[in-house]
Amino acid sequence: PVEVLVVGGGPAGASAAIYTARKGFSTSIAAERMGGQVMDTMGIENFISVPYTEGPKLAAALERHIAEYDIDVINLQRAERLIKASETGGYHEVVFENGGTLKARSLILTTGARWRQLGVPGESEYAAKGVAYCPHCDGPLYKGKRVAVIGGGNSGVEAAIDLANIVKHVTLVEFADTLRADEVLQKKLRSMKNVDILTSAATTEITGDGEKVNGLRYKNRETDEEQTVELEGVFVQIGLVPNTEWLRDSGLNLTKFGEIEIDHKAATNIPGIFAAGDCTTVPYKQIVIAMGEGSKAGLSAFDFLIRNEAP
């Protein structure tokens, strides 16, 4: 058993583990894939103080920083179940897919999230070649170009407003016959001159020239007609799914979207269990935010451990 077990090896997990190791606590970090979503990212231009880096480079830097400390790294292990301690200060247990278990008096959960995909032809083929999921990250790459945003909920409409300020033209594509975003956002979007809104439009394909995206095909669900929009980028905004399915029966409070509920100190409803980054209720899912939240969770774990002796 260790004092702190961090589950998840993205920016939040790396940050949490470094903070608790620096406090002198025995720390392990277990992850399905070290680096997390950062491994799937091409250019990163908003990691403050580093004007430009690339995902795999940042992931390698995270691993190097972890290796500076006495942190036990357990890579390629997927957590399947959490058994909470029977009393405050006792050992929580995490059961992994391979049947192994790890015990720790404090857990920091940082299992991140994944963007929900459309599942249409061209989407995976052109990922990072015109298909994007994060307007804060990739919006500026489409300056002066034409893009579509798929999804008419709050995140889709917010993304369309954001992008319309940067790019030449935005087509918002919604499957249902109305947008679901808040009225104030819809009003703002409708007031923008370089935006078209399509409703009852089922995206059927993202097309490209083999190198990058050149269009989007959709079916008008009222007329059954197939239409094409020429463009250079497609932002898919149909939901961010937290990787918390494994926590469903753990006793942890999750929102209806599956996010782990945390307070301003990254504490969950179970004493000794903290959470950070994209798997939590923290707003705005970004690398710098995940790192800040991870350090917060690490400091809260420290605070918990010095106040609660093992029973």
CB atoms under 10 Å from CB of 218, counted, come to 23
Nearer to ligand FAD, 179 or 275 (CB): 275
| 259 contributes a contact to ligand FAD by CB under 6 A | no
Smallest gap from residue 245 Cβ to ligand FAD (A): 8
> What angle, 0 to 180 degrees and rounded to 10, lies between the N-to-C axes of helices 55-67 and 11-22?
20
Q: What is the dihedral of CA 291, 286, 207, 141, to 10 degrees?
A: -100
| 189 contributes a contact to ligand FAD by CB under 6 A | no
| 8 contributes a contact to ligand FAD by CB under 6 A | yes
Tell me which of 84, 169, 285, 296 binds ligand FAD, using CB under 6 A. Answer: 285
241, 171, 176: which is closest to 206 by C-alpha? 171
Stretch that binds ligand FAD, among 38-46, 98-106, 117-125, 140-148 (CB under 6 A): 38-46
- Interaction residues for ligand FAD, span 71-90 (CB under 6 A): 78-79
| 213 contributes a contact to ligand FAD by CB under 6 A | no
| 298 contributes a contact to ligand FAD by CB under 6 A | no
| 7 contributes a contact to ligand FAD by CB under 6 A | yes
Question: Of all helices (H) and strands (E), which one includes residue 2?
Answer: strand 2-7
Stretch that binds ligand FAD, among 29-37, 212-220, 232-240, 252-260 (CB under 6 A): 29-37
| 13 contributes a contact to ligand FAD by CB under 6 A | yes
Q: Are 170 and 148 in contact (CB under 8 A)?
A: yes
Exposed / middle / buried, residue 252 (Cβ in 10 Å: 0-12, 13-18, 19+): buried
Give CA 6 to chain center in angstroms.
Answer: 17
Look up residue 226 and give its two tokens: 């197939």
Q: Please report, as ranges, the residues that interact with ligand FAD according to CB under 6 A.
A: 7-13, 30-34, 36-38, 40-41, 44, 46, 78-79, 110-113, 115, 133-134, 137, 243, 246, 277-278, 285-288, 290
